[in-house]
Amino acid sequence: MTDPATDADAPASFRLAYVPGVTPAKWVRIWKERLPQVPLTLVTVTAAEAADVVRAGEVDAGLVRVPADRTGLMAIPLYTETTVVVVPKDHLVTAAEEVTAADLADDFILYPRDDTLVWTDRPGEAATIVPATTADAIELVAAGVGLLIVPQSLARLHHRKDLTYRPLVDAPESSVLLVWPEPESKGQHSELMEEFIGIVRGRTANSTRRSQRVDQQPAGKLTASQKAAAKKARKAAPARKAVAPRRGKPRR
């Protein structure tokens, strides 16, 4: 195998789609450190279209929210978010650190069309207005029309000084997945896809899997980037401590 950063057949960049609220900044930073020759292009998509964009091959991978149609896609669960209720700062529920669905029984709740939470029993009373987007719903909360229940990252994304939020302990949670198209051969992914999977799973630059790919390179044909990475790894490795000579009289 060849280094994905120098493989002539590798794509010019790695395209990653992500839905609102998901912040891939950490993974992008690690990618740039490890594969500076391969640009990582971010593509913002809506939660509804995210899986289709990946399936159509418009991007190499995507960070999507559950529920999502995973037909034809591979997936790795990444994390689950806290669900919160967004309210005006003078709302009664702000007196508590967290709330339950019963606390919202007398409130109107806004359910935008891009809502990603899967409900079996919605709290409160559904507002007659159905906002097109979460951003529109936030504006309506500020106007006093109703409250909004969303993953915490979306509450942060649409933060306003006149609004706040509290965890809703008995609400459905939102999970984020990394998805990519199923390869033609089972278990055979592109080198760049393997690199990104390793990054989101927390593998270090000197992890076993990464080292195995480098070791499979024919002897004497390491690329310039591999040589530089090996040199960097040697410098970063902790020096062995010299064993101090034993003091005192030798045992008889």
The reported pLDDT for the residue numbered 9 is 52
Is residue 237 situated within a structural domain? no
Residue-level pLDDT at 190: 84
**For position 231, what pLDDT does the model report?**
56
The verdict on 23 and 71 lying in the same domain is yes
Please tell me the predicted confidence (pLDDT) of residue 2.
45
Identify the three-state secondary structure at position 199.
helix
Q: Is residue 37 part of a domain?
A: yes
Give domain status of residue 50, yes or no. Answer: yes
* pTM score above 0.85: no
Mark whether 128 and 196 lie in a shared domain: no
What is the structure's pLDDT at 57? Answer: 94
Residues 106 and 145 in one domain: yes
Look at residue 25 in the predicted model and tell me its pLDDT: 94
Instruction: Report the C-alpha gap between 196 and 200 in whole angstroms.
Output: 6
Domain count of the chain?
Answer: 2
Asked if 21 and 61 sit in the same domain, the reply is yes
Residues 203/208/213/216 CA torsion (nearest 10 deg)? 170
In a domain? residue 247? no
Strand residue runs (E) in the chain: 14-18, 40-44, 61-65, 73-81, 83-88, 108-110, 125-126, 147-151, 163-167, 174-181
Give a yes or no: residue 246 inside a domain: no
My answer on whether 180 and 74 are in the same domain is yes
The three-state (H, E, C) secondary structure of 42-109, written as one string: EEECCCCCHHHHHHCCCCCEEEEECCCCCCCEEEEEEEEECEEEEEECCCHHHHCCCECHHHHCCCEE
Per-residue pLDDT of the chain in tens (252 residues, 90 and over written 9):
445 544 445 447 899 999 999 999 999 999 999 999 999 999 999 999 999 999 999 999 999 998 888 999 999 999 999 999 999 999 999 999 999 999 999 999 999 999 989 999 999 999 999 999 999 999 999 999 999 999 999 999 999 999 999 999 999 999 999 999 998 755 556 899 999 999 999 888 776 455 444 434 333 344 455 455 555 555 555 554 444 545 555 554
Domain CATH code at residue 121: 3.40.190.10
Q: Are residues 149 and 194 in the same domain?
A: no
Residues 136 and 150 in one domain: yes
CA 107 distance to own-chain centroid: 32
**Does residue 87 share a domain with residue 58?**
no
Look at residue 38 and tell me if it is in a domain.
yes
Give the domain extent around 70.
14-80+175-209
Residues 170, 101: contact at Cβ < 8 Å? yes
Q: For residue 240, is it within any domain?
A: no
User: Omega into 67 within 30° of 0, i.e. cis?
Assistant: yes
Residues 116 and 162 in one domain: yes
